[in-house]
Amino acid sequence: MMELFNSALFIFEAVGYFVLMVSLLHFRHRLGLGVFLTALGVMHFMETYLAAVFYVSLPFGNVSPGSSIFFSGKLMMILMLYLQEDAATVRQPIYGLFLGNLLTVAIAWVLQLHQPLELSPGHPADVDFLKEMGWLMVWGTAILYLDSLGIILLYEKLGDFMRRRVVLRFMISGLVLLTFDQICFFSGLHYFVGVPMAAFWAGWEAKMLAVCLYSLMFAVYEYYVRRDGVAASARSISDLFGDLTFRERYNDLLERTGRDILTGVYDRSRMELEAPLMVREALRQGQYATVLIIDADHFKDVNDGFGHLQGDEVLKAIASRLGTTLRSSDRIFRFGGEEFVAVCPGTSHEEALLLAERLRWTIVTSVKTPDDASVSVSIGVATADEDGGSFTTVLSAADSRLYEAKKSGRNCVVGRSGVAKAS
């Protein structure tokens, strides 16, 4: 009777784990992927602890829910994460777990140097247990790394033979890799905490049962929740190791497109795509977003006096100073000709005036023409939502102030209150 009750609990725990974790994965774009990854990682100590000391009786033997349900579920969740995101995302929680477990072991060694007090009678500090569990978690995470690579590679390789049978590939990958995991991890359990060999086969059978259960729920999720299922992946094994992920290649391509060929900063088309989103997101978060228009003074004289090639060098030097002075969260765009636009989210108007003055001073003191004359810039500054609620209106206000800066003799910054600084 107890074995049947434990079996029912076994199924209940697996279903509950799957439903919760898949819900976090499914709504990751609303909740943030960090919620899913944190929930995935925070269970690691409990999984390892339960695998070491907590066993229940099932009809086919004594098994640990920590290993057969929760760790098996984690590996299947990693495969699901890969299917919906990419390999670069998958490796983040694995690396984090591995480094965190190494830190646990290191701290346990350092704590041995203390002489701990027993404030609660009968509850002494058990540093040896912490150290023992730390090494077991390091071992488990190292295996998890191999498991994760293996399950992704096997899933992709199976696509050569059964591309449309996503659920079957999911199940076979889990069966094979959790068999490998049982062999490796159980050897650690046997070595570190003395789990008897008799528990090996029962643990393996429980993991196989868990994979079948998770595969069934995966099928329900794919065909009745996501409805359109998972598109068959065309990624090859060599591509997995070469670039690891489509997303990495996409981001690299995106980073290299929309760039101004001469200066290397983003071009106007990229500005029209990204700048409105940056301003809108800053306002949504209750922050300011400031726009700066920077114009090189008397730039036509540089071209006429020294040629367009020297003029190009001046523009590149200005872009370089902008890049080193602005923050990593700011974006620089070449607006056209000798004009640049900087979008600075989370920056108030007063802060932006100081930043603009620093830009003006940096350029006038470091950028020179071939005859060693200083190159100056004029800057117009406007801020959302004080000067408008959209990028277009704020850019228009900044452009008007740039015109005022030119009328005021150039080499100056103009904000809402007029000329902020002039030399």
Q: What CATH number should be reported for the domain holding residue 291?
A: 3.30.70.270
Is residue 249's pLDDT more than 80? no
21 vs 39: CA distance, rounded Å: 8
Which position has the higher pLDDT, 67 or 131? 67
Q: Whole-angstrom Cα distance, residue 104 to residue 110?
A: 10
189 and 58 share one domain: yes
Q: How far apart, in whole angstroms, are the C-alpha atoms of residue 190 and residue 7?
A: 25
Cα 282 to the chain's mean position, in Å?
Answer: 20
Give the domain-ending residue among 242, 277, 304.
242
Identify the sign of the CA torsion 109, 110, 113, 114: negative
φ, ψ for residue 340, nearest 5 deg: -125, 150
CB 177 within 8 A of CB 75: yes
pLDDT of residue 405: 95
Tell me if 252 is assigned to some domain: no
pLDDT average, residue stretch 34-49: 82
pLDDT of residue 226: 63
**What are the tens digits of pLDDT across the range 344-384?**
999 999 999 999 999 999 999 999 999 999 999 999 999 99
Q: Indicate if 289 and 373 belong to the same structural domain.
A: yes
Strands (DSSP E) found in 313-353? 331-336, 339-345
Q: Does 131 share its domain with 171?
A: yes
Token couple for 206: 């429980």
Rounded Cα–Cα distance for residues 303 and 246 (Å): 43
User: How many other C-beta atoms are found inside a 10 Å radius of the C-beta of residue 314?
Assistant: 21
For residue 187, the one-letter residue type is S
- Residue 37 neighbours by CB under 8 Å, 6+ apart: 92, 93, 96
Domain that holds residue 91: 2-114+122-242
Verify that 133 and 83 share a domain, yes or no.
Answer: yes
Any domain includes 247: no
Given pLDDT bands bounded at 50, 70 and 90, which one contains residue 175? very high
Contact between 151 and 177 under an 8 Å Cβ cutoff? The reply is yes
φ/ψ of residue 373, rounded to 5: -85, 145
Mark whether 333 and 211 lie in a shared domain: no
Q: Among the residues of 194-267, which ranges form H helices?
A: 199-220, 237-242, 246-256
Among all chains, which residue has been given the structure tokens 């096997």?
Answer: 154
Indicate whether 165 belongs to any domain.
Answer: yes
- Which residue shows structure tokens 């989103």? 277
Cα–Cα dist 421/180, whole Å: 69
- Verify that 43 and 147 share a domain, yes or no: yes
pLDDT at 254: 55
pLDDT confidence tier of residue 253, bands split at 50, 70 and 90: low
Cα atoms in the Cβ-side hemisphere of radius 13 Å centred on 57: 4
From residue 362, give the alpha-carbon distance in Å to each of 93, 173, 365: 42, 58, 5
Token duo for residue 157: 């390789």
- 232: helix, strand or coil: coil
For residue 382, which of 296, 288, 282, 285 has the smallest C-alpha distance?
A: 288
Q: How far apart are CA 33 and CA 118, in angstroms?
A: 41
pLDDT band at 148 (very low <50, low <70, confident <90, very high): confident
Of 195, 218, 242, the position where a domain reaches its end is 242
- What average pLDDT does the segment 213-240 reach? 65
329: how many CB neighbours lie within 10 A of its CB?
Answer: 11
Residues 191 and 265 in one domain: no
Residue 22 CA to residue 31 CA, distance in Å, equals 13
Does residue 250 belong to any structural domain of this protein?
Answer: no
Can you give the pLDDT at residue 377?
96
Q: What are the tokens at 360?
A: 């003006």
**Per-residue model confidence as pLDDT tens digits over 328-352:** 889 999 998 999 999 999 999 999 9
pTM score: 0.52
β-strand pairing of 412-415 with 377-384: parallel
- Do 235 and 268 have their domain in common? no
Mean pLDDT of 44-59: 82
**Pairwise CA distance, residues 413 & 405, whole Å:** 6
In a domain, 137, yes or no: yes
* Residue 61 pLDDT grade (very low, low, confident, very high; cuts 50, 70, 90): confident
Among the three residues 189, 218, 242, which one is the final residue of a domain in this structure? Answer: 242
- Same-domain pairing of 182 and 69: yes
Same domain, 228 and 307: no
Within this chain, do residues 22 and 168 fall inside the same structural domain, yes or no?
Answer: yes
Minimal CA–CA distance to 200: which of 183, 176, 212, 175?
183
Tell me the per-residue pLDDT of 74-110, one tens digit each, with 9 for 90 and over.
Answer: 889 988 888 877 666 777 777 777 787 777 777 777 8
Task: Examine the pLDDT at 242 and tell me if it is beyond 70.
Answer: no
The number of domains in the chain is 2
Note whether 219 and 167 are same-domain residues: yes
